Homo-oligomer: A and B are copies of this chain.
Amino acid sequence: MTTAKRDTYTPETLLSVAVRVFNERGYDGTSMEHLSRAAGISKSSIYHHVAGKEELLRRAVSRALDGLFGILDEAGATRGRALERVEYVTRRTVEVLTAELPYVTLLLRVRGNTRTERWALERRREFDHRVADLLKAAAAEGDLRADMDMRLATRLLFGMVNSLVEWYRPQAGTGYDREQVADAVVRLAFDGLRTATP
């Protein structure tokens, strides 16, 4: 007699359970046993879908990274002045982050203890560099203030955007919708809070 739930998981639904557990316990603190209990299926059923927890991590952070890198290929990120492109990328980054919240949260918490984690950190840095390059291009075109270090500006911009994973929750009625947050981030970052001098 067994009380185990029948395995009705697909790799996709199993992934969403794993990401939730990784975010709650930390990737290091999660064992296959924890995943098995959270999913309500046996460890061997999980191994039927994936080779192990590192594969789940790789799939999860890939989903976040594919979302982010996808932005850079969109028309808004490739045409027009650098300033328009970097504003577009900032807005879309907020949209992808809030749409893929658990996946991006996991990506941002990766530590670097395994090969997959180091690869994820490397890809994150690559994305940050691509955005930093856009900011530098916008500065070179004269559209961004010359009195700001663009590497520091990039860090602060990502600090603001990434901090959304700490408090933004998409549930309706509890706060702000995605577009409102994206608008606010772009406005604050590029125009600042101060009333525009007429």
Residues of A within 8 A of B (CB): 83, 135, 142-149, 152-153, 155-160, 162-164, 166-167, 176, 180-181, 184-185, 187-197
Q: Which of B135, B147, B166, B184 is close to A148, meaning CB atoms less than 8 Å apart?
A: B184
**What residues on B are CB-neighbors of A162 within 8 Å?**
159, 163
Chain B proximity of A131: nearest CB distance (Å)? 12
Q: What does DSSP make chain A's interface, helix, strand, loop or mixed?
A: helix
Q: Please, which residues of chain B bring their CB within 8 A of the CB of A189?
A: 188, 192-193
Chain B residue with Cβ nearest A83? B194
Bound CA span A10–B3, Å: 56
The answer to whether residues A192 and B195 also contact, given A156-B184, A159-B159 and a CB cut-off of 8 A, is no
Contact between A195 and B156 (Cβ–Cβ < 8 Å)?
A: no
Q: Which of B145, B159, B195 contacts A193 (CB 8 A)?
A: B145
- Whether B193 lies near A149 (C-beta < 8 A) is no
Of chain B, the residue at the smallest CB distance from A87 is B194
Are A152 and B135 neighbours in the complex by a CB distance under 8 Å? no
- Judging by beta carbons under 8 Å apart, are B193 and A193 in contact? no
Question: A188 near B83 (CB under 8 angstroms)?
Answer: no
CA distance A22 to B179 in the complex (A): 37
Inter-chain contacts of A163 with B (CB < 8 A): 155-156, 158-160, 162-163
Q: Are B149 and A176 in contact (CB under 8 A)?
A: yes
Separation of A188 and B187 alpha carbons in the complex (Å) = 11
Q: How far is the CA of A142 from the CA of B197 in the complex (A)?
A: 11
A195 CB to closest chain B CB, in angstroms? 6
Instruction: Check A188 against B192 for contact (C-beta < 8 Å).
Output: yes
CB contacts (< 8 Å) of A187 on chain B: these are 145, 147-148, 192
